[in-house]
Amino acid sequence: MRVKLAVTGGKGGTGKSTVATNLAVLIARERKLVLADLDVEAPNDHILLRAGLENEEPVKIMLPFIDYRKCTRCGACAEVCDTGALVLTRDKTPYIIPRLCSGCRACYFVCPEKAIIEGQRIIGYTYHTRVSMKTGSFDLVTGVLREGEEHTPPVVLAARRRASKLAEDVVIVDTSAGTASHVAIALEGAKLAIAVTEPTPLGLHDLEAILRILDELGIEAWIAINKWGIASSEKIINRITEIARDYHAEIKAKIPYSRDIVDAYVKGTPIVEADPSHKVSMIFESLAREVIEVI
Amino acid sequence: MPKIAIASEDSKGLDDVVASRFARAPKFTIVELDEKGEVQNIKIIDNPGAQATGGAAIKAIQALINEGVDIVIGPAFGPNAQAVLAEMKIKNMVIPAGTRIRDAIEKAKKEYGLT
């Protein structure tokens, strides 16, 4: 039985990757696990795990080319283009801007003269690396969007699919920050999502946004508050508790701010591996235990 | 007779000011100059990029291409806008937001030797 768990959270920099990598190391001790880094604009799980990016596969999308001998300058292609990737010159000759093209094929289907030729363009890559820890090993799949590219969803989807193919027991997906469509694509099919937040006004604001998305998608949400103890005014803690109640999400972990996490992070060894008896490691341990019980 | 389009905040013609953004400027003030560099014609159009969900710069430029504009004035131009303007042989000139359109046209005339 394959189960998908998502680590998300709305705000950037709350510690999604820290939580995802530590849980991966712990759960991999008992289950066959794939960790999918779907934060394709800034993937860093491989850095936190000191793993390389191996087994590269390109992610390609359709790129239209125009057969100008067939084109009658009707302008239908530019009219249907939603991303502004097709511009018409004054005499209505279409001109393609590859970077803006999402590869949706609308121009290809709408062209009455069949003057659109289907080409391809590489917008990113996926990687598969075997990660070995002292206590076990697991597979890491990473999606990387090429620099300068704007269309993240195809890369998220490709990495998600590659991870699903490899998965035997458990897939953990680490999403990017925010609530954009590519975050929803990453979350799709998850049985459970852990929303990682921090006790700050922005953390609170973005937590509510992601809980709304999870509610819409019908995914059970747990909350992990990272950097517990910094700026934790009573007001914010009360609000987090209120929001958790509103969205039927349980606060499952309060991870104290600790310099030791940062040190482990810099060394590229998750704290549960570097210092298993650390109080933070114990918190991850009990969170992983609860996750395993659910899945 | 060159046509100059200015990204504009409103529809006040020469007394209006340069908008704070190019792609999402509310209006474009398009002026046509005669041989002496005097403003002969003023036309104000809505910018289709202003309300666009994506690709605003391209939608704005498409409208300028359709109007046959030679020079466009805005407070800044992004990489997509610059690439397409260059490809379409439309010159772009950066003039700070808030500059009166009357003054912006004078600067453009000097820059491109239109007087």
- Please give the pLDDT value at position A83: 86
Q: Do B62 and A89 touch (CB under 8 A)?
A: no
Mean pLDDT of A232-259: 90
How far away is chain B from the Cα of A87, in angstroms, using its nearest Cα? 6
Instruction: Determine what percent of chain A falls in helix, strand and coil, rounding each to the nearest 5.
Output: 35, 30, 35
Instruction: Please answer whether residues A175 and A183 qualify as being in contact, where contact means their C-beta atoms are separated by less than 8 angstroms.
Output: yes
Name which of B57, B65, B80 is nearest A90 (Cβ-Cβ).
Answer: B65
- Identify whether residues A54 and A80 lie together within a single domain: no
Cβ–Cβ below 8 Å for B52 and A78: no
What angle, 0 to 180 degrees and rounded to 10, lies between the N-to-C axes of helices A201-217 and A234-246? 0
Q: What are phi and psi of A171, to 5 degrees?
A: -120, 130
Q: Taking the alpha carbons of A255, A261, A266, A267 in that order, is the dihedral positive or negative?
A: negative
Name the token pair of A84.
């502004």
- Going by pLDDT thresholds of 50, 70 and 90, the confidence category of residue A203 is very high
CA dist., res. A276 & res. A285, Å (int)? 9
Nearest to A254 by CA among A285, A287, A226: A226
Say whether both A186 and A222 belong to one domain: yes
Nearest CA in chain B to A96: B84
CATH of residue A23:
3.40.50.300
Closest CA to B84 of A100, A43, A244: A100
Q: Are residues A17 and A97 in the same domain?
A: no
Q: Residue B46 pLDDT more than 70?
A: yes
- The answer to whether residue B52 neighbours chain A at the CB level (below 8 Å) is yes
Rounded to whole angstroms, how far apart are CA atoms B77 and B88?
15
Q: Do A87 and B57 touch (CB under 8 A)?
A: no
Does residue B59 sit at the A interface (CB-CB below 8 Å)?
yes
User: Is B58's CB within 8 Å of A90's CB?
Assistant: no
Same domain, A140 and A257: yes
Band (A231; pLDDT cuts 50, 70, 90): confident
Q: What is the mean pLDDT of chain A?
A: 94
Contact B58 A84 (CB under 8 A): yes
| Torsion of the alpha carbons at A203, A11, B78 and A104, rounded to the nearest 10 | -140
| Residue pLDDT, tens place only, B53-103 | 878 999 999 999 999 999 999 999 998 899 999 999 999 999 999 999 999
Tokens of B97: 């937001």
The tens digit of pLDDT for each residue in A209-220 reads 999 999 999 999
Q: How confident is the model at residue A8 (pLDDT cuts 50, 70, 90)?
A: very high
Task: Report yes or no on A119 lying in a domain.
Answer: no
Nearest CA in chain A to B59: A84
Mean pLDDT of B40-48: 95
Instruction: Give the whole-angstrom CA distance, residue A117 versus residue A185.
Output: 29
ipTM of the assembly? 0.81
Lowest-confidence segment of A161-175, A225-239, A273-287, B14-28 by average pLDDT:
A225-239
Tell me the average pLDDT across A35-48. Answer: 96
Q: How far is A98 from chain B (nearest CA, A)?
A: 10
- Could you tell me which residues come within 8 angstroms of residue A245 by beta carbon, excluding any fewer than 6 positions away? none
Same domain, A129 and A224: yes
The one-letter amino acid code at A222 reads W
Task: Specify the pLDDT at position A1.
Answer: 56
Mean pLDDT for A170-178 is: 96
CATH classification at residue A97: 3.30.70.20
What tokens appear for A175 in the block? 């999403």
Among the partner residues A89, A90, A97, nearest to B58 by beta-carbon distance: A97
Looking at the complex, does the CB of residue B56 fall below 8 Å from at least one CB of chain A? yes
Average pLDDT over residues A151-167: 95
Give a yes or no: residue B61 inside a domain: yes
Which candidate, B7, B4, B15, places its Cα nearest to that of B115? B4
Q: Cβ distance A94 to A77 under 8 Å?
A: yes
Establish if A197 belongs to a structural domain.
Answer: yes
What's the total number of domains in chain A?
2
B74 in any annotated domain: yes
Q: Which residue has the higher pLDDT, A285 or A148?
A: A285
Q: Over pLDDT 90: what percentage of chain A? A: 84
- In this predicted structure, the answer to whether residue A234 has a pLDDT above a threshold of 80 is no
Q: In this structure, are residues A187 and A215 in contact, taking their beta carbons and an 8 Å threshold?
A: no
Question: How much of chain B, in percent, has pLDDT values that exceed 70?
Answer: 100
Q: Which of A33-37, A105-109, A137-141, A224-228 has the lowest mean pLDDT?
A: A224-228
- Residue A179 sits at the vertex; the CA angle it makes with A178 and A184, to the nearest 5 degrees, is 125
Alpha carbon distance B77, B21 (integer Å): 8
Residue A136: pLDDT band by 50, 70, 90 thresholds?
confident
Report residue A252 as tokens: 């499952």
Where does residue A90 rank: exposed (0-12), middle (13-18), buried (19+ CB within 10 A)? exposed
Which token pair is B101?
């359109």
Euclidean distance between CA atoms A68 and A44, whole angstroms: 44
Segment A221-246 shows an average pLDDT of 88
A15 and A75 in one domain?
A: no
Is B115 within the bounds of a domain? no
Instruction: Give the domain extent around B103.
Output: 3-110
Cβ neighbours of residue A39 under 8 Å, at least 6 residues apart? Answer: A16, A17, A45, A174, A175, A176, A177
Q: What pLDDT is recorded for position B115?
A: 75
In degrees, to the nearest 5, what angle opens at C-alpha A292 toward C-alphas A290 and A293?
65
Would you say residue A102 lies in a domain? yes
Which residues does A220 contact at the CB level (< 8 Å), separation at least 6?
A191, A192, A193, A214
Q: Three-state SS for B53?
A: coil
